[in-house]
Amino acid sequence: MLSISSQRELKAVIKESVKEALEEELIKMRLIFFPEVSDKEMRDITVMYEQPEKKSVYAEKIDI
């Protein structure tokens, strides 16, 4: 039988693994429901709202 400390360690590892798996699946679901923007729509948005003044601090590219 596992000791109390090893049970806690095992629970922590399982909890972290489940959390990571759920985060990955949530990202995929958001991308599925996130509408794509055509080039014309993007140009319209750029004209309407102009370019952002600052560069983004953080960007992430996800390959599906």
Question: Encoding tokens for residue 4?
Answer: 């109390």
Given a contact cutoff of 8 angstroms between Cβ atoms, the answer to whether 49 and 42 are in contact is: no
pLDDT of residue 1: 58
Q: How far is CA 16 from CA 10, 37, 44, 53, in A?
A: 10, 35, 43, 38
Q: Does pTM top 0.75 for this prediction? A: no
Of 24, 15, 16, 36, the closest CA to residue 64 belongs to 24
At residue 62, the pLDDT reads 82
pLDDT in tens, 11-62: 999 999 999 999 999 999 988 888 888 889 988 888 888 776 777 677 778 8
Report the pLDDT value the prediction gives residue 55, as an integer from 0 to 100.
72
